[in-house]
C-alpha cells in the first residue's frame, strides 16, 4: 500500500495531470491541487489532496453560472440523492458558479480502480452542466440517465452510476 503523497502522485499521472503543479500552504495544512484538462473535453477537473487528511481525494468541477432560485432548489434536492455517492453540488456565491464534487476514499483500492472511479465522475459532468443550463433557461429538462442505485461497482465490473437529475 502506498502512502498518501505517493498514491496521489501516481493517480495524478494516471489521469494525465502534473502532480507537482500546485501546492497551497495556508499555514495549518498543505493542500495539493492538480488541474486535469484531459478527462473531459471542455470541463476542467481539479483533483485535491489535503496534507492533514489521510486516504481522501476530492475531485471537483465548475458547471456554469446559476442565478435562478429554481436551479438552486433543484441542486439542493439533488444533493439528497447524491449523499450515498459521496458527491454534492455547491453554490459558490462569489462567482455564482455551480460546483460539483466527489470525495474518493481510496481504502484498499488500486491506482487503476481509483482512476476508473474518477473517470466515471468526469463522464457525468456534461449531462450535469447541460441540466444546469436547461434549468437556467426556459427549456425542458433532459431525460434522467439510468444506472445502478449504489456507489459501488456492479458485479459485472461496470462503473458506478454518477448520473443524477438536477
pLDDT > 70? residue 77: yes
HSE toward the beta carbon, residue 77, CA cutoff 13 A: 8
122 vs 149, higher pLDDT: 122
* pLDDT band at residue 62 under the 50/70/90 scheme: very high
Confidence grade of residue 140 (pLDDT, cut at 50, 70, 90): low
Q: Enumerate the β-bridge partners of residue 49.
A: 32
pLDDT above 90 (res 113): yes
- At residue 59 the predicted structure's pLDDT band, cuts being 50, 70 and 90, is very high
* Residue 61 pLDDT > 70: yes
Per the model's pLDDT, the better-predicted residue between 164 and 116 turns out to be: 116
Phi then psi for residue 84, to 5 deg, are -65, -20
Q: Quick one: average pLDDT of 71-100?
A: 86
pTM of the entire predicted model: 0.75
Q: What is the pLDDT of residue 114?
A: 92
Contact predicate 128/82, CB 8 Å: no
- Quickly state the pLDDT bin for 112 (edges 50, 70, 90): very high
Higher pLDDT, 82 or 145: 82
Domains in the chain, please, with CATH?
4-136 (3.30.1460.10)
Contact 117, 160 (CB under 8 A): yes
User: What is the model's pLDDT at position 63?
Assistant: 92
How many whole angstroms separate alpha carbon 102 and alpha carbon 87? Answer: 4
- Contacts of residue 57, Cβ cutoff 8 Å, sequence gap at least 6: 8, 11, 47, 48, 49, 103, 104, 106, 114, 118
Instruction: Average the pLDDT over 122-148 and give the result.
Output: 74
Task: Look at 127 and 20; give whichever has higher pLDDT.
Answer: 127
Amino acid at each position: 500500500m502506498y502512502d498518501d503523497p505517493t498514491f496521489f502522485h501516481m493517480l495524478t499521472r494516471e489521469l494525465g495531470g502534473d502532480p507537482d503543479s500546485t501546492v497551497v500552504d495556508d499555514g495549518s495544512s498543505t493542500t495539493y491541487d492538480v488541474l486535469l484538462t484531459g478527462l473531459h473535453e471542455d470541463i476542467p477537473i481539479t483533483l485535491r489532496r489535503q496534507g492533514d487528511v489521510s486516504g481522501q481525494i476530492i475531485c471537483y468541477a465548475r458547471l456554469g453560472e446559476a442565478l435562478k432560485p429554481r436551479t438552486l432548489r433543484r441542486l439542493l434536492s439533488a444533493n439528497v440523492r447524491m449523499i450515498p455517492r459521496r458527491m454534492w453540488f455547491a453554490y459558490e456565491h462569489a462567482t455564482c458558479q455551480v460546483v460539483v464534487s466527489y470525495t474518493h476514499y481510496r481504502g484498499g483500492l488500486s491506482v487503476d480502480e481509483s482512476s476508473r472511479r474518477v473517470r466515471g465522475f468526469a463522464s457525468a459532468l456534461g449531462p450535469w452542466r447541460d441540466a444546469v443550463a436547461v434549468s437556467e433557461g426556459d427549456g425542458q429538462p433532459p431525460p434522467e440517465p439510468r444506472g445502478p442505485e449504489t456507489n459501488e461497482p456492479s458485479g459485472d465490473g461496470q462503473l458506478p452510476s454518477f448520473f443524477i437529475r438536477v
